[in-house]
């Protein structure tokens, strides 16, 4: 049975060093529960309580589950792999020790850290990608992180393709999946990032169904994405202009996505993500409208 969660990024709690004050974890969890969701992702290390007892108490108080934790690692640089694996294991251990043994480590590139990828998010060309040798280093790092997490905590790892990182386009996602161990590294399919990165998420859902272990529902407004390309906005400008809009107000065909998930007998979590930067709007109102939209799809 599919369950619906939300994530701290929908309240402006993002891994990037941005201006503005985001909500605290108690407000985020309260509003996730109040708007009808059943779970949450963890957010950055230290955002929520970092001891198992306190984390479990915070979630139990609101009858919520912990479904995963986003861990960015600069995988292009082999010298960053060991520290990345250590952080992923620490994060996974927190969730397991709190009782969340079916949660995921959501591994990602250190998005937004490479200028040329950040400047060209949503319009990446092949010359801005990794070389063959860099791909091998990148994939080796992903395999290492996933292997360490599985061996030391039992949790599985899914990779989050993401605009403003080295795995953005459909071709880059295909390459990552070809180079990583399918028993270790799954894919979290993020509908909005896939669309902004130049692909059709419904096609991806069908193509990669055996590697997709986790789902993110995010929408992408095609007119804003087109304006981003015309105006030359960087990733953060695009997000600030609302390229990731409320569900149902963008270009993702969510009814067809839900139908395909049903055909595949998907029974995992769907996590709603709508990046609402600090000061952009009312995250709780957006979260409620997003949950209502998903209910209209029968979930």
* Structure tokens belonging to residue 82: 């060991």
Check pLDDT > 60 for residue 220. Answer: yes
Do the beta carbons of residue 167 and residue 208 sit within 8 Å? no
Residue 209 clears pLDDT 50, i.e. is over it: yes
* pLDDT at residue 21 tops 80: no
Domain assignment of residue 288, given as a range: 3-296
Contact 187, 159 (CB under 8 A): yes
Give pairs for 132-135: CB < 8 Å, separation 24+. 134/76, 135/175, 135/179
Give me the mean pLDDT over the 192-212 stretch. 98
Mean pLDDT along residues 244-256: 97
Mean pLDDT, to the nearest integer, of 109-132? 96
Q: Transcribe 45-106 into DSSP letters.
A: TTTS-SSHHHHHHHHHTTT-EEEEEEEEE-TTSGGGHHHHHHHHHHHHHHHHHTT-TT-EEE
Assigned token pair, 248: 């149902």
State how far the Cα of 157 lies from the Cα of 106, in Å rounded to an integer.
6
Instruction: Give the confidence band of 277 by pLDDT, cuts at 50, 70, 90.
Output: low
Q: What is the pLDDT of residues 257-276, one digit of tens each?
A: 999 999 999 999 999 999 87
Residue 44 is predicted with a pLDDT of: 87
Please give the average per-residue pLDDT across 47-55, as a whole number: 96
pLDDT at 155: 98
Q: Which residues contact 44 (CB under 8 A, 6 or more apart)?
A: 8, 13, 15, 70
Looking up residue 44, the CATH number of its domain turns out to be 3.20.20.150
Please give the mean pLDDT across all residues of the chain: 95
DSSP state letters, 120-149: TTTS--GGGS--HHHHHHHHHHHHHHHHHH
Cα gap 247→287, rounded to integer Å: 10
Six token digits for residue 129: 């990608």
Handedness of CA 295, 217, 43, 240 (dihedral sign): negative
Q: Is the pLDDT of residue 214 over 80?
A: yes
What is the reported pLDDT for 88?
98
User: Does pTM top 0.85 for this prediction?
Assistant: yes
Per-residue pLDDT, averaged over 73-84, amounts to: 98
| pLDDT at residue 18 is higher than 50 | no
DSSP summary character for residue 293:
H
DSSP letters, 234-261, are: -HHHHHHTTSS-STTSSS--HHHHHHHH
Instruction: Report, as an integer, the average pLDDT of 228-244.
Output: 94
Q: What percent of the chain stands above pLDDT 70? A: 96
Taking 50 as the threshold, does the pLDDT of residue 19 lie above it? no
Per the structure, how many domains does the chain have? 1
């Amino acid at each position: 049975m599919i369950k619906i969660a939300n994530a701290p990024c929908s309240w402006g709690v993002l891994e990037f060093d941005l201006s503005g004050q985001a909500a605290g974890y108690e407000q985020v969890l309260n509003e996730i529960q109040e708007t009808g969701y059943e779970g949450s992702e963890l957010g950055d290390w230290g955002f929520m309580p970092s001891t198992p007892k306190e984390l479990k108490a915070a979630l139990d108080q609101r009858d919520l589950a912990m479904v995963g934790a986003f861990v960015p690692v600069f995988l292009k640089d082999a010298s960053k792999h060991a520290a990345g694996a250590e952080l992923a294991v620490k994060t996974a251990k927190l969730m397991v020790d709190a009782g969340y043994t079916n949660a995921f480590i959501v591994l990602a590139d250190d998005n937004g850290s490479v200028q040329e990828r950040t400047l060209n998010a949503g319009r990446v060309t092949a010359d801005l990608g990794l070389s063959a040798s860099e791909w091998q280093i990148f994939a080796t790092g992903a395999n290492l992180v996933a292997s360490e997490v599985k061996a030391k905590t039992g949790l599985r790892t899914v990779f989050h393709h993401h605009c403003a990182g080295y795995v953005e386009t459909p071709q880059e996602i295909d390459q990552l999946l070809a180079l990583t161990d399918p028993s270790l590294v799954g894919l979290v399919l993020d509908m909005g990032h896939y669309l902004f990165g130049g692909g059709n998420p419904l096609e991806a859902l069908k193509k990669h169904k055996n590697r997709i272990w986790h789902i993110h529902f995010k929408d992408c407004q095609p007119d804003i994405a087109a304006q981003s390309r015309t105006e030359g906005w960087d990733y953060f400008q695009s997000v600030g202009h609302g390229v990731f809009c409320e569900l149902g107000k963008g270009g993702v065909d969510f009814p067809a996505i839900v139908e395909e998930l049903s055909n595949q007998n998907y029974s995992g979590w769907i996590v709603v993500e709508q990046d609402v930067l600090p000061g952009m709007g009312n995250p709780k109102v957006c979260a409620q409208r997003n949950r209502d939209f998903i209910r209209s799809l029968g979930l």
